[in-house]
Amino acid sequence: MRNMLKCLYSRIPQKIKNSISHSAMLFVFCTLITIIAFQPMARMAYARDSRPETSGGSLIDIIVMLISELSVEFSEPQSQPQFVFPPNFQYNSEEKTFRIPKSNGFTMDLSGAVHMDLYHQRQYTITLPMNDPWHLGYGEFAVIDDYFQTVYISPNIADGSVSLTFRLQQLKLFDLSEDEGYYIIRAIYPRERYQFIVVIDPGHGGNQPGAIHGGIRESDLNLAVTRQLLALIEQNEHMRAYTTRNSDASVDLWARPRLGNEVGDIFISIHHNANTNRNVYGTESFYFLYIPDDDYDYNGYADYYGHNDINHGTVDDIADNAYALSSRGLAEIMQRQLINRIGFRDRGIHNRRFVVLRYSQIPATLVELGFMSNQQELDIMRTEAFQRQAAQAIYNGLLEVFAHYPPPR
């Protein structure tokens, strides 16, 4: 058997060996050698080291050919994308649609499509069951417009499907449909599908853990509350949440409001507070509002995003904009809901120049749930029960915002 493996491996071209991972090669060998073990004729052909008198060649030759065919599925994307799309995968740059012709008996099951939105990596993958996985071709193809960079077509031989991975310039979702002659894949804005979109920012992360007390990191608590909140939002078919991070990852401070401005209706940054005075306790929320008579130089803010019509105004004269909700109004709603639910001391709402607030072009608030430096509050906030309650309070705030201030569509 060892000699048979060596013989088989030596017959595989080097370029195929390079394109298949070791685990994939081992899987193929184990499967095919099991077949060989139960084929006496194959062992006889190997012992004679000659081709049987058939047009197909020896079983080892057939196995090598099969590995050559399978290598496509395990190989990495091509280093350079192609610029000419295959004939059965057509892109319309004006409509932002991909069309797959119904030709030569080709069929595809749109109802069985599996969507994977990897928006943190700006990728979106659709896996489509079809009767011919090679119908669309194979490889990475350049699009390069304001929606897309490339699309990677990957046939999955094992289950007869094709995975389409879109590398995005802008975050998008996809609608699938068909007419008499084509299957159609259309890129859409998230706001076209959802009535209300919230961007949740679990503060800190990675090499910026925030406050640390008793070995507990603020970044972990922020993420724990965010995950509880996501579980609630996912049950609401009209609402969609995006997060600035979904793991203990470092995120650029300015990228956080940028995500909110791109896809969100409102922006909520979740934090836990700390103070050198361990007796300080309570919940507070923040917003940013431009005040003309403030002696601080706000001009630099406009250089980054332009003037924020939602947050730039006076306390008594909320900006005139299509969305009636202001950042101050959002902070008031979230603060009230948090106090009612978690019962900590109400420290009120405050105007602050935090980056995630002042660079937001949508209503934005930063909530400080409690003080990690206060041992009594820390013992409560570290529990899953508190995290569920805090998430429920924020979710209730979202429902209130949605009911009284429906975003323009």
Domains in the chain: ranges and CATH: 2-71 (no CATH), 90-188 (no CATH), 193-404 (3.40.630.40)
Pairing of strands 173-178, 182-188: antiparallel
Could you tell me how many residues make up the chain?
A: 409
In the predicted structure, residue 13 carries a pLDDT above the cut 70: no
- Residue-level pLDDT at 308: 45
Task: With beta carbons less than 8 A apart as the criterion, state whether 312 and 290 touch.
Answer: yes
- DSSP 3-state assignment of 263? helix
In the predicted structure, residue 394 carries a pLDDT above the cut 90: yes
Helix (H) or strand (E) holding 98: strand 97-101
- Residue-level pLDDT at 28: 56
> In whole numbers, what is the pLDDT of the chain averaged over residues?
82
pLDDT top residue among 392 and 8: 392
Reported confidence tier of residue 294, pLDDT bands at 50, 70, 90:
low
Reported confidence tier of residue 324, pLDDT bands at 50, 70, 90:
confident
Alpha-carbon distance of 248 to 386, in angstroms, equals 21
Reported confidence tier of residue 409, pLDDT bands at 50, 70, 90:
confident
pTM to 2 decimal places? 0.76
Task: With beta carbons less than 8 A apart as the criterion, state whether 203 and 365 touch.
Answer: no
* Rounded mean pLDDT, 147-165: 95
Reported confidence tier of residue 104, pLDDT bands at 50, 70, 90:
confident
Reported confidence tier of residue 26, pLDDT bands at 50, 70, 90:
low
pLDDT top residue among 6 and 204: 204
Reported confidence tier of residue 363, pLDDT bands at 50, 70, 90:
very high
**Long-range contacts at 107-111 (CB < 8 A, ≥ 24 apart):** 107/131, 108/183, 110/176, 110/177, 110/178, 110/183
pLDDT top residue among 270 and 8: 270
Beta strands in 130-273 (DSSP E): 139-142, 148-156, 161-168, 173-178, 182-188, 196-202, 212-213, 216-217, 239-243, 266-273
* Rounded mean pLDDT, 208-235: 98
In the predicted structure, residue 302 carries a pLDDT above the cut 80: no
323-349 core/surface letters (b: 16 or more CB in 10 A; e: else) = bbbbbbbbbbbbbbbbbebbebeebeb
